[in-house]
Amino acid sequence: MVEKAGGSGASVPSGDVQALKNGVPSQPTLSDIDLSKLKVTLAKELKDIPKPDDLVFGETMSDHMLVLEYTPEAGWSAPEIKPYGPLSLDPSASCFHYCTNIFEGMKAYLGPDGTPRLFRPELNMARLLNSSERVALPRFSPTALLELIKKLIAIDARWIPREPGCSLYIRPTMIGTLPSLAVMASTRATIFVILSPAGKMFKVPAGISLLAINDHVRAWPGGTGAHKLGLNYTPGFKPQRAALEKGYQQILWVLGDNITEAGGMNVAIVLKRPDGDMDIVTPPLDGTILPGITRASVLELLAAHGNETSLPYLSNKTRLHTHERVVTMSELERTWQDGTLLEAFSFGTAVVVTPIARIGWKGKDIELPPYAGNHLGPVARALLERLVDIQEGRVEWKGWSVPCET
Ligand SMILES: *Cc1c(COP(=O)(O)O)cnc(C)c1O
């Protein structure tokens, strides 16, 4: 990406030719990410930071970014933290034609002592590595990349909003940069990490509206829906725009009759049981569901209620039974009609936990039960509060919140 205009041109570098002949991308027996080679160039002028209320998600970027390049000749280049700015890429680069683009979504929070904190970041690194394997991009050391991200955050720490519920969104990305139109794995790659301050995702916490559709699908058995690949999101833009025009904020992706996800978030429903306990049901990781880190955390916290911990707003006597199993639109309609559907909510790094107020399906609306003027029921409220307390370092839980000490 730093190749100068008029430089190497579109010819395929020799290492790639070798890889092409072998029919496989050359593996990094070459150098992995080397932390000791980090080069830091600080911005001469720092930007003004907008107030949290003025922030539109993903539109403001911090002062610096992290960039690393991989070539089959040399492996991973010396990492660089430098002023945020455009990349220079060959127009024939793989990412522009065959979507060799993978990413992660993480957040940095400010702890009570002012130290930046990350939430289970090793899981994001592991998932990024899985994504790179799925699209045959080069491997990398997940621990070294995490250390570099921590250094970037320490440098741009003033960008973490102080207001509770706000955070600095982190976008690690890897793109294939092989300059070739050949339909094949990209043997060259760039990793870059950029930071964007985030206010509250949905300004009204009263609950989001979803339009359930099954005429377009986000993911299918044997597809790539379980990975965070850029190519999974583009096909959703047209139906998403249509949903907005009909007055819904997001799409609820339904595969046949099976509920999968809401926009870029996992979902769960809460059902009342005859014995007074609650069932919390979320679709299983069958390859059509993105394995959310929030999803895993929600399941673990619910399972710990009443023994290892007490979640707020819920009696210790209320047993919460978690289930990873198929949830259908038919079940949603039936339990809504018979009054056993107590809550529906969605979750992911961006929103943490957000209640679902209304689901449009086959021309009518399923309205979820209201709680004190909004749709945040006790289970979603408990999870939201506990997760934010852990993320912001007020509650210690199993080492999930990692201080960014460098
Ligand atoms: C990122 C993402 C999620 C949420 O994952 P988290 O790790 O909890 O942020 C859910 N669904 C899709 C499609 C996603 O891209």
Q: Given the DSSP bridges, would you call strands 80-83 and 39-40 parallel, antiparallel or unpaired?
A: parallel
CATH ID of 2-198, from 1.10.10.10, 3.40.640.10, 3.30.470.10, 3.40.50.300: 3.30.470.10
Q: Say how far apart CA 272 and CA 279 lie, in whole Å.
A: 7
The predicted pLDDT at position 24 comes to: 52
* pLDDT higher than threshold 90 for residue 3: no
The predicted pLDDT at position 199 comes to: 82
Atom of ligand 1 nearest to the CA of 106: 9
Question: Which of the listed ranges 48-52, 64-68, 348-352 does the model predict with the highest average pLDDT?
Answer: 64-68
Widest pairwise Cα distance in the chain: 73
Task: Report whether residue 401 contacts ligand 1, using a CB cutoff of 6 Å.
Answer: no
Instruction: Say how many Å lie between the first and final Cα of the chain, rounded.
Output: 28
* pLDDT higher than threshold 70 for residue 14: no
Task: Report whether residue 266 contacts ligand 1, using a CB cutoff of 6 Å.
Answer: yes
Condensed to tens digits (0 to 9), the pLDDT of residues 288-339 reads: 999 999 999 999 999 999 999 999 999 999 999 999 999 999 999 999 999 9
Q: What are phi and psi of 54, to 5 degrees?
A: -90, -5
The DSSP 8-state label assigned to residue 216 in this structure reads S
* Residue whose CA is at the smallest distance from ligand 1 atom 13: 264
pLDDT band at residue 5 under the 50/70/90 scheme? very low
Q: Say how far apart CA 399 and CA 385 lie, in whole Å.
A: 17
CATH superfamily of 204-403: D-amino Acid Aminotransferase, subunit A, domain 2 (3.20.10.10)
* Residue whose CA is at the smallest distance from ligand 1 atom 12: 264
Task: Report whether residue 293 contacts ligand 1, using a CB cutoff of 6 Å.
Answer: yes
Using CA atoms in the order 241, 247, 250, 254, what is the torsion angle rounded to 10 degrees? -90
In the chain, where are the structural domains located?
Answer: 2-198, 204-403
- Identical fold, 2-198 and 204-403: no
- Centre of ligand 1 to C-alpha 348, Å, is 5
Task: Report whether residue 294 contacts ligand 1, using a CB cutoff of 6 Å.
Answer: yes
Count Cβ atoms below 10 Å from residue 23 Cβ, excluding itself: 8
Q: What is the pTM of this model?
A: 0.92
Q: Say how far apart CA 352 and CA 294 lie, in whole Å.
A: 7
CA 81 distance to own-chain centroid:
22
Provide mean pLDDT across the span 224-233: 97
pLDDT band at residue 150 under the 50/70/90 scheme? very high
* pLDDT higher than threshold 50 for residue 141: yes
Task: Report whether residue 142 contacts ligand 1, using a CB cutoff of 6 Å.
Answer: no
Atom of ligand 1 nearest to the CA of 263: 13
Q: Say how far apart CA 111 and CA 193 lie, in whole Å.
A: 22
Task: Report whether residue 265 contacts ligand 1, using a CB cutoff of 6 Å.
Answer: yes
pLDDT band at residue 1 under the 50/70/90 scheme? very low
Using CA atoms in the order 121, 123, 126, 127, what is the torsion angle rounded to 10 degrees? -110
Report the chain's mean pLDDT, rounded to a whole number.
Answer: 92
* pLDDT higher than threshold 60 for residue 28: no
The DSSP 8-state label assigned to residue 330 in this structure reads H
